[in-house]
Structures are given as structure tokens and as C-alpha cells.
Structure 1
Amino acid sequence: MIALLVALPVLVILAHVFFPSGEVWRHLVSTVLGSYLSNTVILSLSVAIGTTLIGTACAWLVVMCRFPGRRLFEWALLLPLAVPTYVIAYAYTDFLQFAGPLQSTLRDWFGWEFGDYYFPDIRSLGGASLLITMVLYPYVYLLARASFMEQSVSALDVGRTLGLGPWRMFKRIALPLSRPAIIGGGTLVLMETLNEF
């Protein structure tokens, strides 16, 4: 009985989704449904591809390469998860828009007016994709890093003895072994992207 009471709002919403009044769906289909669906698909695909590339590359570099500051980067690459996506979206939108401090400073320094220069529109589908990608790539990074760290050094050594260079060793040995972790991180990113959108 308690579960039915808790589920009642969800059941009412589902009833309106599957049995709506005909006029509402016709209006949505004729006006905004197509653009909403296409924007959702484009945003999801671009964020999934971007986070997978950035997260996997950063994880591979941090685990397999030795460079100054590597220990700092191991943890600093997780920092975008500390701030909610919508807060970063508001902050960067304010910072990068026409009236924001960046463009205002550029206009003051160079004497530019509106139309004298090109600056990408942050309030666009590309801007949203970029911001969400830069906030959510740590999901892929964290899982890929753990997967790369768990891989046996023996498999990589065998690749080296067979003459594989670093790129081919990554492509033929490390990436296939880490594919489940990378796909898992990408799936988390997709769910988070749909949640934010």
C-alpha cells in the first residue's frame, strides 16, 4: 500500500505520456519535438565522443608516462567533478558572452566594436557540448585510469618484444583491455548529459 502511494505520481505522469489528449501531441510534434530530439542526439553524441577521447588520453598519459607534475595531474584531472555542471555553465556563459569580462576586455584593449571580430557563441549547441564535455570527462578518466593501472605489465612487455611502438601498443593491447571501463564511463556521461539537458 505504501509503495502504491509512493508510485502514484509516477503512474499519473506515465498515464499522461501514454494516453495524452490528442491535441497536445499534435502541437508538440508540429512545433518543437523534432528539434528537441535532434538536439538531444547531437549533444549526447558529441559529449560522449569528446569525453571518451579526453578521458582516455589523459588516463593513458598519467598512467604510462613520466613527466614533471604527473602526481599533481593524477588528482587535478578529477577537479571538474567538484562543481555541478549547471554552475560551470552559468559561470562560463557569463565569462564568455558578449557582455562578459573576456570580450569586454578584448574590445577595450584593441578598440574593437561589435562585428569587428569573431567569437564563438557560447549559448549554442556547440558551446553546451564543449562545457558539458569539459565537466564530465573525469567519469571516463577515472575508470580508464583504474583499468590501465590494473593491466598486467607482462602484456605490454610482450607487445614491446614484438616490436610494437607506444601508439600501436596502446591501440592493440591496452585499449581493448580497457574497453569495458571506457564504455562504462561513457555510459555514465550519457546519463549525466541527458540529466543536465
Structure 2
Amino acid sequence: MAWLALLIAALVAVPILSVGANLLRGGGGDTWRHLADTVLPSYIGNTLILCVAVACGAILIGVATAWLVSAHTFPGCAIFEWALVLPLAVPAYVMAYTYTDLLQFVGPVQTWLREAMGWQGGQYWFPDVRSVGGAALMFVCVLYPYVYLLARAAFLERASGILEVGSSLGLGPWRSFWRLSLPLARPAIATGAALALMETLADYGTVSYFGVPTFTTGIYRAWFALGDRVAAAQLAAALLGCVALVLFVEHASRGRARFNNTSGRKRALSGRRLRGGAALAACLTCLLG
């Protein structure tokens, strides 16, 4: 099995080694200067916007839905518990095509609005889905399950005993979540957000279709349009550096803290039953998620 592990590790390392090999070849200065003078600032800006928006959106939706289905019971909870994973099966670029057809000027949504309100083109404002914000929304919709899965597992396995202690100390559900469960689940949430960011940084189809210049489209353009592998390797190395920085900052922020389940066995949270408006709000939150 050792040779198989080495073979898999070698295959995984090939892309990184090829980036390093192209960097060592030298050259690419003219292309790099051209990119720096023209489109590199937009690559950096759009990539940062996407990363921040996707991380915040995935954490917000993933943590909220994970806490609802793991710590509460409401109508449809058992269905939502697994249905919330399904967006991972939809590629982001497929969702981008779908929402573009739905929301573009000649699509069914805007056509219905014009017919219902009697508006003409130019008489109303409608958000452009083919934008940085639209791309971020597509990524959030398909990548939040990374955070959801890991946060749900953390809530189920690590926080049950602590919540019992919180209840005995008189902490309400919200304070128990905010002060006890959420800090314990932080490593899992950070890992899920990091996975979502990796997918965002590696995506080409969605940002290319939306016309959003990012590091990924820049690498493709430098390699295939400009024919400069060295410049493409330089952009790829910068992208790898960004990923490494994100992981380092998350690891350093934890310091010496350790988050372990010391109960010796896994215990599920006893679900708090929601009724009436609270149950409806929980269902709508999971449905929209």
C-alpha cells in the first residue's frame, strides 16, 4: 500500500511541480508587465471580492441550516437534513447558465415583470446576474454544503454535553449556541469555508461565462491566448500563495486551542421542537438554503 500512496501523492504533486518548473525557466517579463499594467488589478480585486462574499455567504447559510436541523425538530426536518447536501451535485456553471436564462432581459422573470407592470425597457432597474455579485451568489448556492456538512457533524458530536451544561446554568438556546456551540464548531466551519474557497478559486466556467476577470481566467488567458507559460505559472503561483495565506491565518488564529470531544462517545443533540411561526421560519430558511 505504501507504493500506492506514493503514486497518488506524486500524481497530486504534478501540477504544483509543473508550476514551479515553469517559474524556474525564467522569462515572461513582458507578458507579466502587460498584465500588471492592464488587467492584474481587476484580477486581484474580483478574486478578493469573490472570496470574501463566498466565505461569508457559505458560513451564514451553512451554519444556520446546520444548527436548525441538528438542534431542532420541525416539519420536514428529516428531509431537509439530507436535501441541503444536494446543491453539491450541481456544477456552478450549470447554475450560472440556468439563472442567466431566467433573469436576463428576455427571460421569463423580466418579461413577466414588464407585462404585469406595463414597463418598457429602460424604465426599471433589475440586477445584472452576469456580474461579480452574481458569480458570488452562484458559488454560495452550490458550495455552502461544505460548511453545512462539517458544521452539522460538529454540532451533533461535540456540543451536546456542553449544551446540557449551558442549560443547567440557565443559558437560553440563543446564548448556548453563540457562547458554547459555535466556538466548538469553529474548526469545522473554517475547514468547510476553506473548501468552498478552494472551489471558488479553481473555477473557470462560471467566471468566464459571466465575464468576470479573476486569477483563473488570467491563467487561462496568459497560457492559451498569449502563449506564455511562464506568466501563467507566475499567476498560478500567486494564487497558490493566496490559498496558503488563508490556511495559515486560520491556523494561527486558533493558536494553542484544541477542540475535542472528551465524552468518549458520540451523542446527538436532543432536538428542540419548533411550532407555529418558528417552525415555518425554519422551513423557509432551509428551503431557501
TM-score (normalizing by structure 2): 0.62
Which of 120, 145, 157 is 2:127 aligned to? 120
Q: Which runs of 5+ in 1 are unaligned?
A: none
1:181 matches 2:227: no
For 1:161, the aligned partner's letter is: S
Q: Which structure's residues are more often helix, by fraction?
A: 1
Deviations 1:2-35 (A, max 9, x none): x7xx959963784258723321111110000011
Q: CA RMSD in A?
A: 2.2
Whether the 8 Å CA contact 2:159–2:180 is kept in 1: the answer is: no
| Cα distance in 2 between the residues matched to 1:107 and 1:169 | 48
1:44 matches 2:51: yes
Partner of 2:234: none
The number of equivalent residue pairs is: 193
Which of 161, 168, 171 is 1:161 aligned to? 168
* Percent identical: 56
Partner of 2:18: 11
**Deviation for aligned residue 1:153:** 2.7
Partner of 2:108: 101
Partner of 2:151: 144
Partner of 2:78: 71
SS for the counterpart of 1:122 is: coil
| Cα distance in 2 between the residues matched to 1:153 and 1:91 | 41
| Cα distance in 1 between the residues matched to 2:37 and 2:203 | 25
Q: What is the 5 A alignment of 1:52-63? A: 52-63=59-70
Whether the 8 Å CA contact 2:159–2:181 is kept in 1: the answer is: no
Instruction: Sort the Cα spacing of 1:27 and 1:134 in 2 relative to 1 into closer, same or farther, 3 A.
Output: same
Deviations 1:139-193 (A, max 9, x none): 1001111111112533111101111111110011111111111111011000000
